[in-house]
């Protein structure tokens, strides 16, 4: 063998050895990455949930043992589906139908218990003092990140921290009482349209049977469209109709939402949801851009104009700060939220009010007598609506028995002390509005019965000063549109009472059901009759 051949052989051997070393290194790198990934998956799927469970049980909290990945979700949806499969007796004890799993959990494991939403435990809190702390300490108990609902409910409701503070400040002028007073004629116009429609439907004996639920949805949609978008309210109504469709699709998809990355699977439902979301966003941007051009040309008092003016003022006063004000996408998010702030909340409040007043004619008569005493047959005005005591008592009681949202969730991002509990990072807490509003220990033996009299001296007296009544949430994040919703509801109920008496139809099926908000699953069939005031 020549020296050259020997040298080449040594080089070839060295190259083979280097390649072998490289492959071994790559193998160990891949092995380490696989082991690290496996450890992260094991920690996510098993170790961390079991650690959280141990920490909760050591503090006297009880719940089911963790079941890998699904937790209690499968049982929760099964029970809710079974409850929704049939109507219930005509009773206001609706918790077993609306929140069967939470009720069962509290019954079995106690008032401070937990359930599993996938790999996360959710602690149910039922002590008023704890709930008050959670709602007031918004930075220790931030809102839950719910990506499922973000396409539907964004804006102020989903923001946290500094962004939430900025948006709340900019939106607040649109919901001040003097602005609300200016919007009262818009409520009146929408209510007039409803009354006219119902009058045209009356038969020769001046009565008819109506499913009032879609009419009340359209009323609230029309009112929030007029007050939000002014001259563009017809386009606003179309947008709200799309959002209603989107809400139904989200609820249909909810059962699978806890499967990792499920939202990104291109199913027919997901494609439809994306299509609706794009349509909503595009339409809102067109309305906003049009309104931006009109600012300063005329005086407008719809919510969008007030919001844009507030935003422009903020930007002009802080020209050196690029982080002030809202972007176009931010304004779109707030417009989407107007739907729930003004449409969903008001429509469900109205439908349950009509159902309950149909079942309790004594209170219907009392409310009508008050309305006629203040307004007679005249059109309601802002000051008169504020003087309605009995109607207000009735609305408070409806919100107690049938709150629009049945519960609130908050997440724990770092360990936090709550009373005697140390709640670890990574869990969530649930504030069961419906359960608390029906709790006999908090409201007395008649807690599950309709009794507006309990609010005759106001909310503080009715609750004995405890934090047991929060249909619009509470603390700094209390619903910014609550006065808006209550004023619209008072206007609608007042005018309905002026023109009609009503009772439940024999075909009405009592079936409260959650589709984002608490709605009548099979509609609200009511017999209405033209009201004749025999005194006049």
Whether this model's pTM surpasses 0.85: yes
User: For the sheet containing 207-211, what is the strand order?
Assistant: 207-211, 525-530, 500-504
Query: What are the pLDDT digits (tens) for 477-526?
Result: 998 889 999 999 999 999 999 999 999 999 999 999 998 899 999 999 99
Q: Is 77 exposed, middle or buried (0-12, 13-18, 19+ CB in 10 A)?
A: middle
pLDDT of residue 10: 66
The H-assigned helical ranges of 43-176 are: 48-58, 73-84, 95-98, 100-109, 128-136, 147-150, 161-171
- What phi and psi values does residue 315 have, to the nearest 5 degrees? -65, -45
Least confident of 44-53, 172-181, 211-220, 314-323: 314-323
Residues 100-158 have pLDDT tens digits of: 999 999 999 998 899 998 899 999 999 999 999 999 999 999 987 666 666 666 778 78
Each residue's pLDDT tens digit, 384-437: 999 999 999 999 999 999 999 999 999 999 999 999 999 999 999 999 999 999
How much is the mean pLDDT over the chain? 89
Distance, CA of 467 to CA of 465 (rounded, Å): 7
Minimum mean pLDDT among 194-208, 227-241, 277-291: which range? 227-241
Tokens of 165: 């503070």
Residue 509 vs residue 1, higher pLDDT: 509
Q: What is the pLDDT of residue 8?
A: 65
Q: How far apart are CA 408 and CA 410, in angstroms?
A: 7
């Amino acid at each position: 063998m020549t020296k050259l051949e020997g040298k080449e052989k040594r080089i070839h051997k060295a190259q083979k050895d280097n390649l072998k070393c490289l492959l071994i290194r790559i193998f160990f790198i891949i092995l380490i990455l696989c082991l690290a990934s496996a450890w992260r998956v094991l920690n996510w799927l098993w170790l961390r949930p079991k650690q959280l469970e141990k920490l909760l049980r050591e503090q006297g909290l009880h719940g089911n043992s963790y079941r890998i990945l699904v937790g209690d979700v499968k049982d929760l949806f099964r029970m809710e589906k079974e409850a929704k499969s049939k109507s219930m007796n005509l009773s206001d004890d609706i918790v077993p139908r609306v929140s069967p799993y939470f009720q069962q959990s509290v019954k079995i494991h106690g008032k401070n218990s937990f359930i599993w939403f996938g790999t996360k435990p959710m602690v149910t809190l039922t002590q008023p003092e704890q709930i008050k702390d959670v709602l007031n300490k918004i930075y220790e108990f931030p809102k839950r990140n719910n990506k499922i609902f973000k396409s539907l409910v964004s804006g102020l409701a989903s923001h946290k921290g500094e962004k939430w503070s900025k948006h709340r400040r900019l939106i607040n002028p649109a919901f001040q009482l003097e602005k609300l007073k200016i919007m009262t004629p818009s409520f009146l116009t929408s209510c007039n349209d409803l009354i006219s429609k119902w009058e045209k439907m009356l038969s020769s004996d001046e009565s008819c049977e109506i499913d009032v639920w879609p009419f009340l949805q359209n009323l609230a949609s029309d009112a929030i469209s007029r007050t939000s978008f002014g001259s563009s309210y017809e386009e606003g109504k179309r947008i709200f109709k799309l959002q209603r469709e989107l809400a139904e699709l989200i609820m249909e998809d909810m059962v699978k939402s806890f499967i990792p990355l499920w939202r990104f699977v291109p199913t027919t439902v997901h494609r439809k949801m994306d299509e609706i979301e794009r349509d909503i966003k595009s339409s809102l941007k067109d309305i906003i851009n049009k309104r931006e051009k009109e600012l300063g040309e005329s005086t407008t008092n719809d919510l969008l104009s007030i919001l844009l003016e507030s935003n422009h003022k903020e930007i002009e006063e802080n020209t050196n700060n690029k982080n002030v004000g809202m972007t176009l996408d931010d304004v779109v998010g707030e417009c989407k939220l107007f739907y729930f702030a003004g449409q969903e909340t008001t429509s469900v409040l109205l439908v349950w009010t009509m159902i309950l007043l149909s079942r309790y004619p004594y209170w219907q008569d009392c409310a009508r007598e008050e309305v006629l005493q203040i307004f007679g047959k005249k059109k309601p005005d802002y000051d008169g609506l504020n003087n309605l005591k009995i109607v207000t008592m009735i609305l408070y009681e409806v919100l107690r028995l049938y709150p629009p949202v049945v519960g609130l969730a908050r997440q724990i991002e770092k360990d936090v002390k709550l009373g005697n509990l140390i709640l670890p990072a990574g869990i969530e807490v649930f504030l069961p509005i419906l359960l608390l509003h029906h709790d006999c220990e908090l409201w007395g033996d008649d807690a599950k019965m309709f009794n507006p009299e309990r609010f005759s001296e106001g909310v503080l007296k009715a609750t004995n000063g405890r934090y047991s009544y929060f249909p619009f949430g509470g603390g700094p994040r209390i619903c910014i549109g609550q006065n808006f919703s209550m004023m619209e509801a008072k206007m609608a109920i007042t005018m309905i009472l002026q023109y009609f008496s009503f009772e439940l139809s024999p075909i009405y099926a009592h079936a409260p059901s959650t589709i984002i908000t608490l709605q009548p699953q099979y509609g609200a069939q009511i017999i209405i009759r033209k009201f004749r005031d025999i005194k006049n």
